[in-house]
Structure 1
Amino acid sequence: MHKPIEVTKDVFYVGVNDRTKHLFENLWALPQGVSYNSYIIEDEKTVLIDAVDICYSDVFSRRIRSVLGDKPIDYLVINHMEPDHTGAVEWLVSRYPNIQIVGNKRTLEMLNGFYGIANNVILVEDLGELSIGKNRLQFFLTPMVHWPETMMTYVPEKKVLFSGDAFGAFGALNGGVLDSQLRPERYGDEMIRYYSNIVGKFGSPVQTALKKLEGVEIGAICSTHGPVWTVPENISKVVDLYDRLSRY
C-alpha cells in the first residue's frame, strides 16, 4: 500500500511517474521521464483534481485508496483534457459511478467527444465557485495555456493553486514530490524546456492568465507535471519565469 503524500492539510498528491516513455507526445525527449500529477482534497465533499494516463490506472488506484480507502469521490475537476490527464476518466466513472465531473463549457464538450460522457457533469464559469464544505473551489479559465479548454482551480482557504499544465516541468519526481524534498535546480532547465516546447507559442494567453492571478495569494502551485512548489522563493521564481518567457 502506498503511503499518503500530503501537500498541506487535507490536500494529497496521488499522481504517478512515467519512466518508460521516451518521447512526450511522440516529439520531445524525456531523458528523465515525466510525472502525471493528480490531487485529492478531503472535505465534506471529496475532490479529485485531474487524473492520469490510463496506462497507470493501477498505481493511480492504489494511491487514491491510500488516502480515501473505500470512501467515494464526489467531484473530479478537469483542468485540462489531454489524455495524459484524462485517460483514466472512464475507469474513474466505472469505479465511482456517482462521481460528478466539473469543467467549463469547452471541457464538457471535449469530454463528451473524447469519452462519450455527458451525464453527472457540473458546468463552471470563469471566476465561478463551488463549495465543498469548509473550502471553496474557484475557477480561472485560461484558454490556450495550452489548449482551448484549460483552466486553473484555486482553494482560497488553503492558498493552493491547481494550475493544470501551467508551471509544469518535464522530469519524473525522484525522492519526493514537494520542492522542499527535491533539488529544485534539477527541474529548472526541464521547466524551461517544457515551456518552450509545449506552451511557448502562447505567450499572450499566458500573460492573460498571469493577470488573472494578480492579487491571488499562492502558498502552493500544484501543476500536472513536475514538482509541487511550496517554498515561497521557488513559487516567485516559477511565476517570474513564466512572466519572462511569455514576453518574448
Structure 2
Amino acid sequence: MATRELKKGIYWVGAVDWDIREFHGPSYSTHQGTSYNAYLIVDEKITLVDIVDVHFVDVMIEHIKEVIDPEKIDYIIINHVEPDHSGGFPKLMALAPNARVFCSKNGKDAMEQHYFGDYQYEIVKTGDVLSLGQRSIQFIEAPMLHWPDSMFSYIEEEALLMPNDAFGQHYASSMLFDDENDMCTVMEEAKKYYANILMPFSPLVVKKIEEIIKMNFKIDMIAPSHGIVWRSHHEKIIEAYMKWGKGETHRKAIVVYETMWNSTERMARAIIEGLVSEGVDARLYRVSVSDVNDIIKEVLDAKALLVASSTINNTMIANMAYFLEELMGLKPRNKIGAAFGSYGWGKGAVVNIEKKLKEAGIQLVKEGLQIKYVPTEEALKACYEFGKDIGRMI
C-alpha cells in the first residue's frame, strides 16, 4: 500500500503483511493478515510515531522517503516496545542518528533490554506535552494495555489519537480507512483482537477510556498500530470497547466440546436444542476442528459457556485442556457455565473441566452432567433439559 495522508502533513508510512497467519507464535490466528502502522508528522520537528516489524522496516523506510529524507527525523515516539512495533528501530536509527526517542519509563527500560544501543531516550508520562511546532503531542500512559510500557499519543490540533495496540485489528487491506472497508469484517476482527489480547485487562480498558473522557479530548480519528484507521466510526469502536470491557453479554451460549466416539457430541447437540428452545443464540464448536481464537471471540459477549469432553486417562482430551488454559489466561467476565461429557470405566473429564472453568472466573450454575458410554434416549432428554435449564438462567 502506498503512503497515505491521514490529515494535512500526517502520513501513514507503515506496511501491510498479507501473508501472516499466526501471531504471538502460534497463539493467535490471523486469517486476514495484518498491518504494522507507523505515522509520520511533518512539522517544524519531523516526528515518527511507532515503527514496524523488522521484516518490514525497508518498506517503512521507502514510505518515509516518499515524504522526507529519514535523516531529517527529529523525534521518534515509541508507544509500545513489542517487536512488531519496534523491531525496525535499530535500522531506522542508523538513518536518523540524531533523533530523540520518547517513551514511558517502562518503555525506556524495555527498549534498552531489546536494542542495547546508546540512544537519546526521553521519558514521558501522562500529561506531558511535546511541541512539534504547529502541533503538539500529549502523552497518556496506558500500562498493561497490553504491556507495562504501553502509552497513547494525542494531537489536540488534529483531534487525532494514536493508541498503538488499543482499537486495532489484525486485518490487511489496501484501503486505509474504516469507511473504505467492509465494516462487518472490520468489527469482527476488532472483536477477535480484543477478546484474544485485551480481555484480561478489561477493567483497565474501561478505566483508561473513562480517564480520556474526563480529559475532554476531542477525538475525530483513531489511528491504531494494526489494521484500519477509524475516521467515520471512531465512536462505534470506543462504545464497543466499553461494552466488552464491562463484560456486557447477549442472550447467547457457546458450547465447546471434544469427543472420541461421538457420545459427547450427541450430548452436545441435545443440549444445544434445549438452549435454542429457550430463545438463546446457541453456537456449537468442536475444539479439534475449530479455531480457538475464533471461539474465544464468540465467548467475549456470550452469557454462558458450556464445555464438554470425553474422559481419557482420567481427564479431558488434550486439545480441550489447551482451550481452557487459554481461557484461564484471558479471564472472561460475567459468564455462567457448566461442564458435561461421557466416560467409560472411569470418570475425570468433567471434574477437571469444572476446576478450570472456576479458575477462569466462570460461575458454575449446574452440577456437571456425566453419561456412561453411549447416551440412551432418556439420557438425551436429560441433556435437552440441561440445556433448557441454562437457557432459562440466561
With the shorter chain as reference, the TM-score category is over 0.9
Tell me how far 1:30 sits from its aligned partner.
1.1
For the residues of structure 2 that align with 1:185 and 1:224, how far apart are their CA atoms?
A: 20
Q: Which residue of 1 aligns with 2:95?
A: 95
Q: 5 Å matches for 1:21-40?
A: 21-26=20-25, 27-40=27-40
Give the letter aligned to residue 94 of structure 2: S
Q: 5 Å matches for 1:96-135?
A: 96-135=96-135
Identity %: 31
Give the conservation status (yes or no) of the 8 Å contact 1:159–1:220: yes
Q: Which residue of 1 aligns with 2:141?
A: 141
Q: Which residue of 1 aligns with 2:218?
A: 217
2:16 is aligned with 1:17: yes
Q: Which residue of 2 aligns with 1:241?
A: 240
DSSP-derived class of the 2:114 partner: helix
DSSP-derived class of the 1:186 partner: helix
Give the letter aligned to residue 238 of structure 2: V
DSSP-derived class of the 1:98 partner: coil
Q: Deviations over 1:8-61 (max 9, x none)?
A: 111110111112222011211111101111101110001100000000111111
Tell me how far 1:119 sits from its aligned partner.
2.9
Over the aligned positions, Cα root-mean-square deviation in angstroms equals 1.3
Give the letter aligned to residue 126 of structure 1: T
In structure 2, relative to structure 1, the CA distance for the partners of 1:143 and 1:184 (3 Å cut) is: same
Give the letter aligned to residue 4 of structure 1: T
DSSP-derived class of the 1:67 partner: coil
Tell me how far 1:182 sits from its aligned partner.
2.0
Q: Which residue of 2 aligns with 1:177?
A: 176
Question: Which protein shows a greater Rg?
Answer: 2
User: By percentage of residues, which structure has more helix?
Assistant: 2
Higher relative contact order (CA 8 A, sep 6+): 1
Q: Which residue of 2 aligns with 1:227?
A: 228
For the residues of structure 1 that align with 2:71 and 2:9, how far apart are their CA atoms?
A: 14
Tell me how far 1:180 sits from its aligned partner.
2.7
In structure 2, relative to structure 1, the CA distance for the partners of 1:70 and 1:103 (3 Å cut) is: closer
Number of residue-to-residue matches in the alignment = 244
Is the deviation greater in 115-124 or in 237-246? Answer: 115-124
Q: Which residue of 2 aligns with 1:75?
A: 75
Q: Which residue of 2 aligns with 1:195?
A: 194
Tell me how far 1:118 sits from its aligned partner.
4.5
For the residues of structure 2 that align with 1:178 and 1:68, how far apart are their CA atoms?
A: 23
Q: Which residue of 2 aligns with 1:205?
A: 204
Tell me how far 1:123 sits from its aligned partner.
1.3
Give the conservation status (yes or no) of the 8 Å contact 1:3–1:66: no
Q: 5 Å matches for 1:55-66?
A: 55-66=55-66
For the residues of structure 2 that align with 1:153 and 1:184, how far apart are their CA atoms?
A: 25
* Superposition TM-score, scaled by structure 2 size: 0.60
* 5+ long unaligned stretches in structure 1: none
For the residues of structure 2 that align with 1:127 and 1:118, how far apart are their CA atoms?
A: 27
Give the letter aligned to residue 96 of structure 1: A
Q: Deviations over 1:194-235 (max 9, x none)?
A: 00001111011111210121021101100001110011xx11
Give the conservation status (yes or no) of the 8 Å contact 2:34–2:170: yes
* 5+ long unaligned stretches in structure 2: 248-394
Is the deviation greater in 118-127 or in 81-90? Answer: 118-127
